[in-house]
């Protein structure tokens, strides 16, 4: 049905490419070609079926360059001890994350990895988190990013990184610690207005007593620390005498709760198309979430192909992470140390380094937060520096040098970098400016203006 | 040709065209204090920062975390300061620091994000949202003329400043430079002229990057501690000494959510808070008399400690006011006590002073706001508690 609707509406190539920009880290020439060939719906389906997209070349390279990516908890602990460098795994995870965003063909999947990394935020700001977060990323977030929400929730509740960050490893019958249970309801599932009470927070904390960490990095249920008494959460009675199973049952209850569907879907809609998503979109997609028992792909399909979402204009301000990955994709520069260093320092200066948001709610996802003077200063400087320093290594800029006429050069670069186009006045201003420059300087200057300019900040 | 083209483009970007010389008003000339709003993110534990050692229940509730009476920096018969906060003690002893205890949102809100949002908006937790921040609404009522008047010393602008079109985010004075050549910037400025939403931000970047130049020449003050707060206050000090016309600065100081190991985690923060404020006062000299520092957090923590030697989310907390214009050397507010019946929801320090009372007195007595409804809407303060000295005319 969706296919017919799309076929009827006959999305123009530029429109399909614009929409593809929303669900990727930027549409480079290769991606644009794929969108032209498949149409937007075909592109969405291809990206949803992510495990059939071959990313082995990238992943093999990452694994050979970044050894901690493949180590299990014991190997990692041993390695970090021997290297006496506790930040090493964190550094490698960060590098892998920046590279995957910019270079993985599984673009929508990487966007979802980022989404869940925000949703189940664990800041890496101490040596223990630095050793545990890479395991969570590899064993929980990445494998389940496109699976079922409940599986992700259950796995995350047992993940040592989360158990440590929100103190549940210390949550015992003698002394409950409610940090995890509060954020579980407020942030991970129901949402602040989702219908739970302070009493529910306390009762839920008792359910997760005894859920702890077996060093160096495994889940452990310790029966002697568990509160086996009767509990009441969200109006449900949990009989006494139950151990691990009652926490799992609560997670199922939360995952299936209608408030959770609305909360997760609102956040997904906010991530992919609007800061304040339309209520009818959220309701329809929440139905898909519920009907599919929290199947993330089906939920995404319902969201991304919803007519209101397809018709919505570009109104999401790119976050710095999307901007940075987008420039790298646009320039088509191969990854190397300088590229990573530049991406790192831009994200550091904009306050958007992966795994560094200090609070459990994850990085903000609305325009007013990211429309900051520091953020735009960094975008301007990055656009200028990266285009100026990379002309020899950017295939895009190399090709653009072949055009003798500046207007054609601008046309070519606009088509590659701002697929929805720019207005004629801006086009004229860029071309007039480029004409004042030495020929060899033109491609970089044009690209810098396009990357720094307003059209590239929206998606 | 190139120069003519440049001049033509320049006219499209007024901010760049003239490089105007701003008239830099010192705090005194503003007729109001400049505001330094420091937010302790995470819910700072008022019972550790300013322990009520005269309340016997404190030691029952905090068997491992209570700070012994012999160890606190004594303030009065009831309260002391955390032993690491020597900088605060110095300010207190000189009458330039007041603490308002059992202070916070009248309606308990134990979610970090909801409580931060309410306090930054200047509303109660039970009130409908304003959207804009209380500082933003204050600033909208006064004239803010210079490009560096309102600054979040951070990568983003907090909700407290929302509504102020003048608010900049500046993570660091020294890093706020544009590397692009001016002719390229002119074209970029013209491009942003067509984007109504982003134009003001782009213009603010161009203007502030120009205006910040002289400030980067000013040396960093002495004795600031390493860390987020020390760095931000050091930059605030340079802006003030450089007469940049600073009217309000917002600073985030994070890391106060201590569900475990609270004693070890609080000590460096208390040290940094005290040392940074003390260094700031030395740094800005006489301008201290025209500067008011407000230190706030989203909630105090649970009165009883948890089993992880930490504390969960609670209700009443402590608020700090520092500056030449505070009637300090006092811990202000009715102490509700920590016995069971006096606790909020049976387990948290109660709130006896609505945090807005403090802000209202600040606005009325130091920031020159005659019409408090312009900031707080229908809410009205209690009779003045006299937290601040009246500003000399």
Residues A102-138: tens digit of each pLDDT: 999 999 999 999 999 999 999 998 889 999 999 999 9
CA-nearest residue to B131 within chain A is A368
CB neighbourhood size of B68 (10 A): 11
Parse chain A into domains and list their residue ranges. Answer: 164-256, 258-311, 320-457
Residue B198 and residue A374: Cβ atoms within 8 Å? no
Q: Any bridge partners for residue A231, and if so which?
A: A238
From chain B residues 180-199, the ones with a CB under 8 A of any chain A CB are 180, 183-185, 187-188, 190-192, 194-195, 197-198
pLDDT at B29: 58
Q: Are A92 and A355 in contact (CB under 8 A)?
A: no
* Nearest by Cα to A452 from A378, A353, A400: A378
* Nearest by Cα to B170 from A370, A372, A380, A453: A372
From chain A residues 307-366, the ones with a CB under 8 A of any chain B CB are 349-352, 358-361, 364
* CA distance linking residue A68 with residue A175, whole number of Å: 36
* Nearest by Cα to B98 from B270, B273, B352, B318: B318
By the 10 Å C-beta count (0-12 exposed, 13-18 middle, 19+ buried), B147 is classed as: buried
ipTM score of complex: 0.94
Domain annotation covers residue B393: no
CA of B65 vs chain A CAs: smallest distance (Å): 14
Splitting chain B (393 residues) into consecutive groups of 10 residues, what average pLDDT does each group show?
Answer: 36 36 47 96 98 98 98 98 98 98 98 97 96 96 92 97 94 96 96 96 97 97 97 98 97 96 97 98 97 98 94 97 98 97 97 98 96 96 96 75
pLDDT at B21: 36
Residue A374 and residue B307: Cβ atoms within 8 Å? no
pLDDT at B7: 34
* CA distance linking residue A373 with residue A223, whole number of Å: 52
In chain B, residues with a C-beta closer than 8 Å to the C-beta of A171 are 308
In chain B, residues with a C-beta closer than 8 Å to the C-beta of A186 are 111, 113
| 3-state secondary structure (DSSP) of residue B37 | strand
Q: Which DSSP letter does residue B290 get?
A: G
CA of B312 vs chain A CAs: smallest distance (Å): 7
CA of B10 vs chain A CAs: smallest distance (Å): 12
Domain annotation covers residue B387: no
**Partner residue opposite B156 with nearest CB, options A372, A426, A448:** A372
In chain B, residues with a C-beta closer than 8 Å to the C-beta of A362 are none
Question: How many A-B residue pairs are in contact by the CB < 8 A criterion?
Answer: 157
Domain annotation covers residue B332: yes
* CA distance linking residue B82 with residue A436, whole number of Å: 64
Residue A454 and residue B195: Cβ atoms within 8 Å? yes
pLDDT at A120: 98
**Partner residue opposite B204 with nearest CB, options A177, A373, A384:** A373
Q: How confident is the model at residue A393 (pLDDT cuts 50, 70, 90)?
A: confident
Domain annotation covers residue B21: no
Containing H/E element for B336?
none
* Nearest by Cα to B95 from B328, B289, B323: B328
φ and ψ of B168, to 5 deg: -100, 155
Domain with B151 in it: 2-15+28-372
Domain annotation covers residue B312: yes
Residue B179 and residue A385: Cβ atoms within 8 Å? yes
State the pTM of this model.
0.92
Q: Provide the CATH number for the domain around residue B189.
A: 3.40.720.10
Give the position of tokens 């927070």: A201
For B177-188, b/e burial (b = at least 16 CB within 10 A) is ebebebbbbbbb
CA of B76 vs chain A CAs: smallest distance (Å): 33
* pLDDT > 70: percent of chain A: 98
In chain B, residues with a C-beta closer than 8 Å to the C-beta of A224 are none
Q: Are B328 and B96 in contact (CB under 8 A)?
A: yes
Q: What is the pLDDT of residues B118-154, one digit of tens each?
A: 999 999 999 999 999 999 999 999 988 899 999 999 9
The answer, for A178 touching chain B at a CB cutoff of 8 Å, is yes
φ and ψ of A221, to 5 deg: -100, 120
**Partner residue opposite B205 with nearest CB, options A172, A178, A376:** A376
Q: Are B21 and B211 in contact (CB under 8 A)?
A: no
Report H helices in A10-119: 13-22, 29-48, 56-65, 73-83, 88-103, 107-119
For residue A436, pLDDT over 80 is answered with yes
CA-nearest residue to A388 within chain B is B180
Q: What is the pLDDT of residues B253-298, one digit of tens each?
A: 999 999 999 999 999 999 999 999 999 999 999 999 999 999 999 9
Question: Which pair of structure tokens corresponds to residue B331?
Answer: 């811990």
**Partner residue opposite A436 with nearest CB, options B5, B185, B202:** B5
Q: Are B180 and A384 in contact (CB under 8 A)?
A: yes
Domain annotation covers residue B23: no
In chain A, residues with a C-beta closer than 8 Å to the C-beta of B306 are 175-178
CA of B94 vs chain A CAs: smallest distance (Å): 35
* CA distance linking residue A306 with residue B43, whole number of Å: 41
Residue B346 region, left (φ>0) first, then alpha (ψ -120 to 50), else beta? left
CB-facing half-sphere around the CA of B92: CA atoms within 13 A: 22
Q: Which DSSP letter does residue A173 get?
A: S
| 3-state secondary structure (DSSP) of residue A221 | strand
- Per the structure, the count of domains in chain B is 1
Q: Are B372 and B380 in contact (CB under 8 A)?
A: yes
The answer, for A433 touching chain B at a CB cutoff of 8 Å, is yes
Q: What is the pLDDT of residues A44-65, one digit of tens each?
A: 999 999 999 999 999 999 999 9
The answer, for B209 touching chain A at a CB cutoff of 8 Å, is yes
Residue B306 and residue A364: Cβ atoms within 8 Å? no
Residue A372 and residue B188: Cβ atoms within 8 Å? no
* CA distance linking residue A173 with residue B105, whole number of Å: 31
The answer, for A192 touching chain B at a CB cutoff of 8 Å, is yes
CA of B177 vs chain A CAs: smallest distance (Å): 8
pLDDT at A391: 63
Residue A192 and residue B113: Cβ atoms within 8 Å? yes
- List the single best residue of B11, B201, B210 to mutate versus A (max A Cβ within 10 A): B201
* CA distance linking residue A316 with residue A156, whole number of Å: 28
């Amino acid at each position: 049905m969706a296919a017919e609707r799309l076929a009827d509406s006959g999305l123009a190539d530029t429109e399909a490419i614009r929409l593809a920009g929303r669900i990727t880290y930027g549409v480079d020439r290769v991606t644009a070609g794929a969108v032209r060939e498949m149409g937007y719906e075909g592109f969405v389906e291809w990206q949803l079926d992510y495990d059939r997209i071959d990313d082995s070349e990238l992943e093999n390279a990452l694994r050979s360059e970044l050894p901690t990516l493949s180590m299990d908890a014991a190997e990692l602990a041993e390695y970090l001890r021997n290297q006496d460098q506790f930040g090493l795994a964190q550094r490698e995870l960060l590098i892998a994350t920046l590279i995957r965003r910019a270079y993985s063909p599984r673009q929508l999947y990487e966007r979802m990895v980022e989404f869940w990394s925000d949703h189940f935020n664990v800041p890496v700001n101490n040596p223990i988190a630095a050793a545990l977060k890479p395991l969570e990323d590899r064993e929980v977030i990445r494998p389940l990013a496109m699976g079922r929400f409940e599986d992700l929730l259950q796995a995350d509740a047992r993940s040592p990184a989360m158990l440590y960050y929100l103190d549940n490893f210390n949550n015992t019958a003698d002394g409950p610690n409610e940090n995890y249970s509060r954020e579980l309801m407020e942030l991970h599932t129901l949402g602040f207005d989702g219908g739970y009470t302070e009493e529910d927070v306390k009762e839920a904390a008792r359910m997760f007593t005894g859920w702890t960490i077996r060093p160096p990095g495994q889940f452990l249920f310790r029966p002697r620390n568990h509160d086996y008494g009767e509990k009441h959460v969200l109006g449900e009675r949990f009989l006494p005498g139950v151990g691990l199973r009652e926490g799992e049952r609560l997670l199922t209850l939360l995952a299936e709760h209608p408030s959770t569907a609305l909360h997760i879907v609102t956040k997904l809609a906010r991530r992919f198309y609007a800061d304040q998503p339309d209520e009818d979109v959220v309701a329809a997609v929440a139905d898909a979430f519920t009907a599919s028992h929290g199947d993330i792909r089906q939920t995404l399909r319902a969201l991304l192909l919803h007519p209101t979402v397809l018709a919505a204009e570009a109104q999401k301000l790119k976050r710095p992470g999307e901007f940075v990955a987008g420039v790298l994709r646009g320039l088509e520069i191969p990854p190397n140390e300088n590229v990573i260093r530049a991406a790192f320092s831009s994200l550091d200066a904009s306050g958007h380094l992966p795994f560094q948001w200090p609070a459990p709610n994850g990085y903000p996802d609305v325009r007013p937060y990211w429309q900051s003077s520091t953020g735009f200063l960094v975008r301007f400087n990055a656009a200028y520096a990266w285009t100026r320093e990379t002309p020899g290594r950017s295939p895009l800029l190399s090709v653009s040098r072949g055009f003798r006429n500046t207007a054609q050069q601008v046309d070519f670069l606009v088509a590659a970098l701002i697929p929805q186009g720019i207005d004629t006045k801006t086009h004229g201003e860029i071309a007039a400016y480029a004409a004042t420059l030495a020929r060899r300087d033109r491609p970089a200057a044009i690209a810098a203006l396009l990357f720094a300019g307003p059209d590239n900040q929206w998606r | 040709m190139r120069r003519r083209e440049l001049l033509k483009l320049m006219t499209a970007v007024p901010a760049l065209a003239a490089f105007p010389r701003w008239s830099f008003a010192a705090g005194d000339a503003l007729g109001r204090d400049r505001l330094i709003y420091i937010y302790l993110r995470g819910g700072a534990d008022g019972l550790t920062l300013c322990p009520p050692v005269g309340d016997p229940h404190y030691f029952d509730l905090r068997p491992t975390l209570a700070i012994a009476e012999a160890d606190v920096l004594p303030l009065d018969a009831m309260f002391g300061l955390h032993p690491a906060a020597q900088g605060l003690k110095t300010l207190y002893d000189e009458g330039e620091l007041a603490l308002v205890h059992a202070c916070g949102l009248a309606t308990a809100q134990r979610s970090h994000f909801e409580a931060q949002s309410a306090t930054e908006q200047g509303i109660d937790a039970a009130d409908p949202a304003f959207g804009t921040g209380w500082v933003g609404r204050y600033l909208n009522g006064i004239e803010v003329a210079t490009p560096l008047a309102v600054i979040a010393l951070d990568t983003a602008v907090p909700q407290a400043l929302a509504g102020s079109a003048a608010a900049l985010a500046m993570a660091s004075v020294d890093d706020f430079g544009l590397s692009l050549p001016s002719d390229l910037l002119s074209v970029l400025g013209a491009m942003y002229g067509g984007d109504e939403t982003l134009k003001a931000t782009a213009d603010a970047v161009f203007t502030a990057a120009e205006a910040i130049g002289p400030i980067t020449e000013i040396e960093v003050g002495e004795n600031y501690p390493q860390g987020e707060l020390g760095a931000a206050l050091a930059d605030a000090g340079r802006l003030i000494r450089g007469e940049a016309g600073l009217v309000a600065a917002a600073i985030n100081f994070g890391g106060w959510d201590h569900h475990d190991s609270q004693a070890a985690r609080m000590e460096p923060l208390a040290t940094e808070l005290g040392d940074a404020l003390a260094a700031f006062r030395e740094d800005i000299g006489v301008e201290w008399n025209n500067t008011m520092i407000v230190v706030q957090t989203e909630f105090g923590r649970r009165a009883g400690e948890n089993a992880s030697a930490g504390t969960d989310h609670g209700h009443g907390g402590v608020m700090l006011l520092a500056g030449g214009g505070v009637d300090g050397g006092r811990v202000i507010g009715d102490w509700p006590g920590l016995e069971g019946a006096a606790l909020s929801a049976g387990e948290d320090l109660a709130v006896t002073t609505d945090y807005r009372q403090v802000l209202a007195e600040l606005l009325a007595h130091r920031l020159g706001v005659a019409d408090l409804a312009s900031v707080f809407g229908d809410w009205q303060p209690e009779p003045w508690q006299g937290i601040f000295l009246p500003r000399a005319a």
